[in-house]
Amino acid sequence: MFLKVQRKKGKGGEEMLYASVVENRREGKRVVQRTVVNIGRVAEEQVPYLRAAWSEKKPRLVWDD
């Protein structure tokens, strides 16, 4: 499973980000992506943290104080 982030343009030309958790499955000879969870609209700053939360190898997040 992995985090899939899609960029969409709104009516005013603003760019919005939508995130969902997706898994790959093999059906016959093709690979199909199936959406497991729709997270919804996210901010640009949230994307690295969401990717870290859903990754298999958990990276260590470091904050500078």
Query: In 10 A of CB 19, how many CB atoms?
Result: 20
Report if residue 15 sits inside a domain. yes
**Domain range enclosing 17:** 2-54
Residue 43 CA to residue 19 CA, distance in Å, equals 10
Report if residue 61 sits inside a domain. no
Q: Which residues in the chain land under pLDDT 70? A: 59-65
Taking the CA of residue 35 as centre, how many other CA atoms within 13 Å lie in the half-sphere pointing to its CB?
10
> How many structural domains comprise the chain?
1
pTM above 0.85, yes or no: no
Provide the pLDDT for residue 61.
65
Provide the pLDDT for residue 49.
87
